[in-house]
Amino acid sequence: MTFEDSDTYGMYKRYDKSGPGPELMGAGTLMGEDVVNRSDEDLGDIKEIMLDMRSGQVAYAVLSFGGMLGLGTKLFAVPWQALQLDTVNKRFVLDISKDRLESAPGFDPDAWPDMTDVTWTNQIHTFDGTDASRSGSMQAGSMPMGGMSAGTGMGAGAGSMGAGHAGTAASTGSGMAGGSGAPRSGAGGGDGL
């Protein structure tokens, strides 16, 4: 399923930059979106998008991988900055091999981790080679959920809320484990969709 197929409101019918997508997209239209790697291997699909309510940014996409008919399926929290939107093929690209993904820290659909735990967050970002201080990542010393601090609000972090924009799956560079281990320049965060 593609984001255009999920568009029940018609928000993507004006795909000429005068309306939403792909620079601004409805989170609900991304559920079920296919994820592939740079070798065009199917890695699964997006089951959920996790928002950091403190920063107002997308923190993770929850990727479902493996299993058959829902049995043996494993979920993975993928830092939003690790994903690239392939607008040509209408899917996401994650720079990781299937073998590496199988060894990623994942979780059972019935036993979600505490995604606000700093140790868990650091483990995910270390594995994925992403920067835990970007794109809504939970950090030590983050503001408590009780309210907004001065100077922040709904627009906080604008411009750093999206996955990298690939255009095609043939983009160069290495942004995930299996590559250099360091975030790829322009791979997300500050570049937006």
Check pLDDT > 70 for residue 172.
no
Per-residue confidence (pLDDT) for residue 68, from 0 to 100: 65
**Cα separation of 68 and 177, whole Å?**
26
Across the range 134-140, mean pLDDT stands at 49
- State the chain's mean pLDDT as an integer: 71
Across the range 114-140, mean pLDDT stands at 79
Pairing of strands 42-52, 34-36: antiparallel
Check pLDDT > 70 for residue 99.
yes
Per-residue confidence (pLDDT) for residue 186, from 0 to 100: 39
Check pLDDT > 90 for residue 82.
yes
- Adjacent-strand bridge partners of 181: none
Peptide bond into 22 cis (omega under 30): yes
Q: What residue ranges do the domains of the chain occupy? A: 27-140+154-189
**Cα separation of 191 and 159, whole Å?**
7
Which CATH fold would you assign to the domain 27-140+154-189? Answer: SH3 type barrels. (2.30.30)
Check pLDDT > 60 for residue 137.
no
Taking the CA atoms of residue 157, residue 163, residue 168 and residue 171 in that order, the dihedral angle to the nearest 10 degrees is 90
Using CA of residue 83, residue 96, residue 130, residue 110, what is the dihedral sign?
positive
